[in-house]
Amino acid sequence: MLFLAALWLPILLSAVFVFIASSIMHMVLPYHKSDYRQLPEEDKLLPSLRAAGLVKGLYIFPHCTHKEMNSPAMQEKYKQGPVGMLTVFPSGRPAMPKFLGMWFAYCLIISVFVAYVAAHSAGHGAAYLIVFRVVCAAAFLAYGLANLSNGIWKGQPWSNVIKEVVDGLVYAALTAGSFAWLWPRG
* 4 HSE (CA, 13 A, CB side): 6
pLDDT digits (tens, 9 = 90+) for 131-145: 999 999 999 999 999
- The answer to whether 178 and 17 are in contact (CB under 8 A) is yes
* Backbone φ, ψ for residue 85 (5° rounding): -125, 150
Most confident of 19-23, 28-32, 122-126: 19-23
pLDDT tens track for 54-98: 899 999 999 999 999 999 999 999 999 999 999 999 999 999 999
Q: What is the mean pLDDT of residues 114-142?
A: 95
DSSP reduced 3-state for 130: helix
Is residue 123's pLDDT more than 90? Answer: no
- Residues 35 and 166 sit within 8 Å (Cβ to Cβ): no
From 45, 59, 62, select the one nearest 88 (Cα to Cα).
Answer: 59
